[in-house]
Structure 1
Amino acid sequence: MDTAACYLEPTWNAGRDFAQREIAGELVMLNLLRFRAIADYSQSPELAPPRPIAGAAAYDRYVAHTLPHLRKSGGDILFRGEGRPFLIGPEGERWDRAMLIRQKSRGAFLAFAVAEAYLAGIGHRTAALADSRLLPRVELPR
């Protein structure tokens, strides 16, 4: 598996394109997460625990910090599960966790993502992740 490219934040173009998408109503974000063996708090030393912790534990701290802000913005976690090898997919590709996050609207998500109270804990996410994917999805009409 190629480890040269890691994706932890949206590119400017991806962020602009998402902000300009016309999305009516709810959306669901598919999150695929790969954790560091040991969390790296070098970018947010003020959030670092007294002793080193695993990336998964740092991500759990991020979720604990984020969930009240997510819910206040109209969103919630629909599913959070442990990763396992693909049934269909590349043998060498692995994700430690998958999550589905519901948000009431594109605008609510964008406001949530830049809220100061939420951003105060984002260092846990940065410390936790070795790689990630975030795929916004809109439900098809029935």
Structure 2
Amino acid sequence: MQTYLEPTQESGRALFMRGIAGSVVMLNLLRYRAVADYSATPQLAPPTPITGEAAYRLYMEHTMPHLEKSGGKLLFFGRGGGFLIGPSDERWDAAMLVQQSSLTSFMAFASNAEYLGGMGHRTAALEDSRLLPLEESGW
């Protein structure tokens, strides 16, 4: 089973080639690990094992000040589950909508060294994820 936790160079290039003007909303779909895996960042690991969901909460606590400082905001965070329309064997534990004023501000946020210092919580937390940049189009 292929998993997706980080963007590729190609997907980053394609995002910028879209030429999104104005704000961008990122739709995040998240599937947590049963137990967080801190093997890549043991220095961030809590003293006792925690769930992937708890590790993601640590990631969000670390992330929110950096997101807000960059001009971004959390629009929605909610629990997921099975699809009403979609594959019956696919589930997402949570969905999140994050707005940034522009792709430039998103990239500044995503490359901020202080923010990146807590990314290990996200990696430990997630079994799989999706990130879909959304551009307002109106009717």
TM-score over 0.5 for the pair? yes
- Displacement of 1:12 in angstroms is 1.4
Residues matched between the structures, number: 139
RMSD (CA atoms): 0.9
SS of the counterpart of 1:67? helix
CA distance in 2, matches of 1:117, 1:104: 20
1:108 counterpart = 2:105? yes
Q: Distance in 2 between the 1:18 and 1:111 partners?
A: 15
Find the residue that maps to 1:59 and give its secondary structure.
helix
Return the structure number with greater strand share.
Answer: 2
Give TM-score scaled by structure 2 length. Answer: 0.97
Where in structure 1 do 4 or more consecutive aligned residues deviate above 2 Å?
none
Q: Which amino acid aligns with 1:19?
A: F
Aligned-pair identity (%): 60
Matching of residues 33-72 of structure 1 within 5 Å? 33-72=30-69
Aligned twin of 1:74: 71
Between the aligned partners of 1:127 and 1:36, the Cα distance in structure 2 is 8
Three-state SS of the structure 1 residue aligned to 2:128 is strand
CA apart distance, 1:17: 1.6
Which runs of 5 or more residues in structure 2 are unaligned? none
What's 1:96 paired with?
A: 93
CA distance in 2, matches of 1:110, 1:34: 24
